[in-house]
Structure 1
Amino acid sequence: MKILDRYILVQYVKTFLSVFTVLMFILVLQAIWLYIKELAGKDLDVVTIVKFLYYSMPVAVPIALPLSVLLAAILVFGNMAENYEFAAMKSNGISLQRAMRSLTIVILGIGFTSFFFANSVIPWGYLKQRNLRQNIAKVKPAMVITEGVFNQVGDINIRVEEKSGDRGQFLEDVIIHKRNPKKTGNFTVIKSERGELKSSLNSNVIQLVLYNGNYYDDLQLKDPVKQRNLPFVRSYFEEYTINVDVSSLNDVDMDEEAITDNHRMLKMNELMIRLDSFDRDLKTGMKTYRENQHAKWKPEYFNRAVASDLDTITTFSNTKNFFADLNNTDQSRAINAAVNKIRNQKATVKNRLEQMKREEKRLATHKIEIHKKFVLGSACVILFFIGAPLGAIIRKGGMGLPLVVATIFFLAYHFINIFAEKSAQQGAMPAWLGAWMGTLIIFPLGIILTYRATTDQGFFDLSGTIKGWFVAKKASKAKTAPSQ
């Protein structure tokens, strides 16, 4: 390796590692801030906190790695251009492409390695972090209860409007659906103005004390008339105590992995297997649904279905056109029955369409995840070929302008990817295009910047444009001026 190659390589690697470390630190802190509600007040030990930070690091790599490649390239080449090192190299016949040769090999190695990282380490990080968050959420019952949504605690489903107190033990506007072990379903509803969670740290049973509320219990009667006249029993209470078994909350295994089917947790071969399974199930379901609908809407079947609603009529002289055999009253009933069946069928079709959209979105999400494993490495390579010539063009080192330029470019790339992925999940574009949209847009930009940097052109030739505008303006005034 020549001295020049070694010099540029050392400068880039040092800058890249520094930038990557700082960005990882910032993104891990962001993860803590994002999940602070799930972590605070849990009396977690140091080992669990360190595990959470450790598992959050691979999750942050898809953002930190491309941005580090881009920013390090701008900083290194901008600093070299500012110190006229490129001018010295060009005077000795060394072009920008020659100066980038050693780094190109390194960046290609990073891009190639990032695929294996995205296929193994990043899914592992998602798996560990998501399950650790799930296990942490089980530690304290008060912390399991989230404001504004229903939460399962023991054998009750509870919703609170607001929590207060140092442990979140004071509850406001409480709604509880209580499970009945002798019945299937939740037939007991309890509403109260406020409540309080009382329990010791090591107790397997907590006391939930409710104040000023009502107790509703649905009555499951066999007689429909009695059920309609007496649907439920209501009673008022000033204070009501519920004992909830939380033994499972006090014995939480932090290493348990209950969630393993998220698309971000799967490797490429696992995603391919699931895609084949989803695609086969979707086609089989559509075929079965189509056959059932065709059979259901044949005239003979539909007439027979409508006739079955007319319980007062038992025989028809013409089953294919039974309507002609009916009197006016039964004709009206038959029309109403047909209309109701069509309305029900319309609702069924609507639900089926929504189900199809969910299944297609699931398919698109898994396809995008496969492509994203290749996108990470490609983005690193392309962003390097944007950052290196861009640094040579702006000719500015340090953390000022290069940081601003790198942030703008990366945010534009990142937001394009987000919007494209969302559009692909909604079916607006193919899944592969949604995953590669940002990369395809910045690829021509890398070519243009490399060309302009090697030909000593600026990014925007504003000076020539402004100068030409002033010359044209001056000439125009000279022509219109009156002669003296």
Structure 2
Amino acid sequence: MKILDKYILKTFVITFTSVFVILFFIFILQTVWLFISELAGKDLDFILVIKFLMFAMPRIIPLVLPLSVLLASIMSFGDFAENYEFAAMKSAGISLQRTMKFLTFFILILSLGAFIFANNVIPYAEFKFINFRKDIAQMKPAMAIAEGQFSDVGSYNIKVDKKSGENGNFLTGITIHKKSNNFDGSKNVIKAKNGELISNEKSNILKLVLNDGYYYEDIIPKKYEERNKIPFAKSSFKKYIIYIDLSKLNNTNNEDYTISNTNSMLNISELKYTIDSLENNRKKDIISFVDNSYQRTVTQGSLSSNKALNDSIITTKIKNPDLLSNFIPKEQSEILQIANNSIINTNYTIDSTEQELESKTKVINSHWIALYDKFVIAFACILMFFIGAPLGAIIRKGGLGLPIVFAVLIFIIYHFVNTFGKKIAQEDGLTPFLGCWMATFILTPIACLLTYRATNDIGFINMDVVLLPFQKLFKKIFPSQNQ
């Protein structure tokens, strides 16, 4: 590696690192803002907040990395052009392609690292992050309940006015809504002056002891006209104990998590296996539906509660092309009723099966999108470099002014098209491959055009091509002014 290559690489790496750290910090703040409701009011210590952010960080990389490469490329090559360093290189016989040579190798290595990171680190971190979000309010008993708001704890929604004690286990002004599994709309409400949370590290049962309160329970009358009176039963208590099962929520430090995998938690091999299983399952459902529809059509055609009608349908010789005219009016009515019921049932079955198959198709598409995304992030780094480097050499402007405008504009276009394509693909409007690579297909010709124009010193826009036709037209209209 020559001195010039070291200088260019060093300049780019320093700029890239600075931009990456700044953007990463900004996106981390955005993550904190998005999940502020899960962090605020939970009495979380500093270690737990850091752990939360550590699990959230890897998911930010696919956004930050391409944007950092784009901005660093524009800034670095813009500085070289603005300070006439490119002019000095060209006077020494060094072309733009030669200056980009070692940076291209660096970007290729960076892209390979991004692919490995997306295939291994991000799925693991996503698995931890989703589980940690579920468990964060349950790691300590007091964390499960926040002051001044209802907290979802097991089968109860609990609100307290104030928590006290060393671990916040003593509660004051307690209101509890018990979740109902019934469809009658009945509600159970418990109010108590104070209470205490009691737990054991070896037990998954959280014990809530309530003191001096009332228990309200709605009563649903059997007669509908009496329900408008909204009757309820009220009972008082000196001491009331509630046991809350936290066995599924209190295993944060255990490696055996209970939440099922999602597409974002799987690497490529796992995604391929899952997609194959999902597609086979969908094909079996389609075959089963077709077979059931055929059997139902064949059997329902002769089903009737009237045995005599069935025998008549089977034994009647067709004398008239109008089939119904071969039967008496009573039999005609029954046949039409059977046909109508068959059509209604078939339409209902088709609609429900169609919705089920559409849901399964969306799940399959989401897994394909997760698979293609691992390759898209790697290619995005290469694409952004071949957009940013030529663009910086063309605009001849470094620093944090114009380069940021171009970088943000290009990345917004890329991110919008990428998001739009994936949304359409998930809804089965496009193939997952085309949806994920749509932004790349759109910006790749732009990258090739910019690289061509920069390496040939053509500039961003050749104004002569735009203005020459107007000049010729002006000369024809006003020939006297040209003499």
TM-score by length of 2: 0.81
Equivalent position of 2:471 in the other structure = 471
For 1:271-286, list aligned pairs within 5 A. 271-286=271-286
Q: Show the counterpart of 1:255.
A: 253
Q: Is the 8 A contact 2:149 2:160 kept in 1?
A: no
Say which of 231, 234, 239 aligns to 1:236.
Answer: 231
Q: Which amino acid aligns with 2:220?
A: Y
Equivalence for 2:13: 13
Correspondence for 1:224: none
User: Using the alignment, how far apart are the partners of 1:321 and 1:33 within structure 2?
Assistant: 76
Q: Displacement of 1:118 after TM fit?
A: 0.8
Q: State whether residues 9 and 102 of structure 2, in contact with CA within 8 Å, keep that contact through their aligned partners in structure 1.
A: yes
Corresponding residue of 2:34? 34
Equivalent-residue separation in structure 1 for 2:84 and 2:131 (angstroms): 53
Q: Deviations over 1:3-60 (max 9, x none)?
A: 1000000001111111111111111111111111122111112221111111111110
Alignment partner of 1:133 is 2:129: no
Q: Say whether the 8 Å CA contact 1:135–1:253 is kept in structure 2.
A: yes
Deviation at 1:402?
A: 0.4
Q: 1:369/1:83 Cα in 2 relative to 1: closer, same or farther (>3 Å)?
A: same
- Give the Cα separation in 1 of the matches to 2:33 and 2:330: 69
Q: Does 1:189 align with 2:192?
A: no
Contiguous gaps of at least 5 residues in structure 1 = 180-185, 220-227
Match of 2:202 in 1: none
Match of 2:376 in 1: 375
CA distance in 1, matches of 2:224, 2:308: 33
Contact 2:52 2:129 in 1 (8 A): yes
Measure how far apart 1:259 and its partner are. Answer: 2.1
Residue in 2 that maps onto 1:449: 450
Between the aligned partners of 1:452 and 1:169, the Cα distance in structure 2 is: 72
Decide whether the 8 Å contact of 1:20 with 1:65 is kept in 2.
yes
Question: What is the identity, as a one-letter code, of the residue corresponding to 2:264?
Answer: R
- State the SS of the aligned residue for 1:317: helix
Shift in Å at residue 477 of structure 1?
4.3
3-state SS of 1:397 partner: coil
Deviation of the 1:206 alpha carbon: 6.8
Q: Secondary structure at the match of 1:318?
A: helix
What's the CA shift for 1:478?
1.7
- CA distance in 2: counterparts of 1:210 and 1:468, whole angstroms: 88
Task: Kindly report the root-mean-square deviation, in angstroms, between the aligned alpha carbons of the 2 structures.
Answer: 3.9
> How many angstroms apart in 2 are the aligned matches of 1:251 and 1:302?
50
Matched letter for residue 456 of structure 1 = D
Cα distance in 2 for partners of 1:419, 1:164 equals: 43
> For residues 210 and 360 of structure 1, what CA distance do their matches in structure 2 show?
50
Describe how 1:289-308 pairs up with structure 2 within 5 A.
289-298=289-298, 301-305=299-303, 307-308=304-305
Contact 2:178 2:189 (8 Å CA) reproduced: no
Shift of 1:461: 2.7
Which residue of structure 1 aligns with residue 168 of structure 2? none
Residue 190 (structure 1) shift = 2.6
Any stretches of 5+ residues in structure 2 without a counterpart?
164-170, 199-205, 317-323
Greater shift after overlay, 254-263 or 442-451? 254-263
- 1:221-232 mapped onto 2 (5 Å cutoff): none
CA distance 1:403–1:280, shift in 2 (3 Å): same
Return closer, same or farther for 1:339/1:195 CA change in 2, 3 Å cut-off: farther
Secondary structure of 1:456's match?
Answer: coil
User: Which stretch has the larger CA shift, 323-332 or 56-65?
Assistant: 323-332
Choose which of 288, 293, 314 in structure 2 pairs with 1:320: 314
Matched residue type, 1:48: L
Partner of 1:436: 437
Q: What letter corresponds to residue 406 of structure 2 in structure 1?
A: V
| Distance apart, 1:289 and its partner CA | 1.2
Question: Contact 2:127–2:261 at 8 Å: present in 1 too?
Answer: no
* Aligned-partner SS, 1:245: strand
The count of residues paired between Structure 1 and Structure 2 equals 452
Question: Percentage identity across aligned positions?
Answer: 36
Secondary structure of 1:205 counterpart = strand
Distance in structure 2 (CA, Å) of the matches to 1:13 and 1:108: 14
Distance 2:437 2:326 in 1: 65
Amino acid at match of 1:16: F
Show the counterpart of 2:44. 44
Indicate the SS of the match to 1:297: helix
* Match in the other structure for 1:116: 116
User: Which amino acid in structure 2 is aligned with residue 369 of structure 1?
Assistant: A
The CA distance in 2 between the partners of 1:36 and 1:321, in whole Å, is: 76
Distance apart, 1:261 and its partner CA = 1.2
SS of corresponding position for 1:246: strand
- Classify the secondary structure of the residue corresponding to 1:178: coil
Counterpart secondary structure, 1:189? coil
Shift of 1:472: 3.9
Contact in 1 for aligned 2:71/2:403 (Cα 8 Å): yes
SS at 2:186's partner residue? strand
User: Partner of 1:320: helix, strand, or coil?
Assistant: helix
- Residue 450 of structure 1 and its aligned partner are, at CA, apart by 0.6
Q: Please, which of 185, 197, 205 is the counterpart of residue 208 of structure 2?
A: 205
Q: Is the 8 A contact 1:137 1:144 kept in 2?
A: no
Larger displacement relative to structure 2 (99-108 or 435-444): 435-444
Aligned to 1:182: none
8 Å Cα contact 1:390-1:449 kept in structure 2: yes
Task: Give the drift of 1:216.
Answer: 2.8
Q: For residues 276-319 of structure 1, what are the alpha-carbon distances to aligned partners after superposition, in whole Å with 9 as ceiling and x for unaligned?
A: 11111111111111111111101xx11443x13x6xx6774335
How far apart are residue 84 of structure 1 and its match? 0.6
Give deviations 1:151-193, integer Å, cap 9, x for gaps: 974345x6x9xx9967999999x986524xxxxxx25533599
Q: Is the 8 A contact 2:302 2:313 kept in 1?
A: yes
Q: Contact 1:137/1:143 (CA < 8 Å) preserved in 2?
A: no
Counterpart residue number, 1:178: 180
What amino acid is the match of 2:250? Answer: V
Aligned counterpart, 1:396? 397
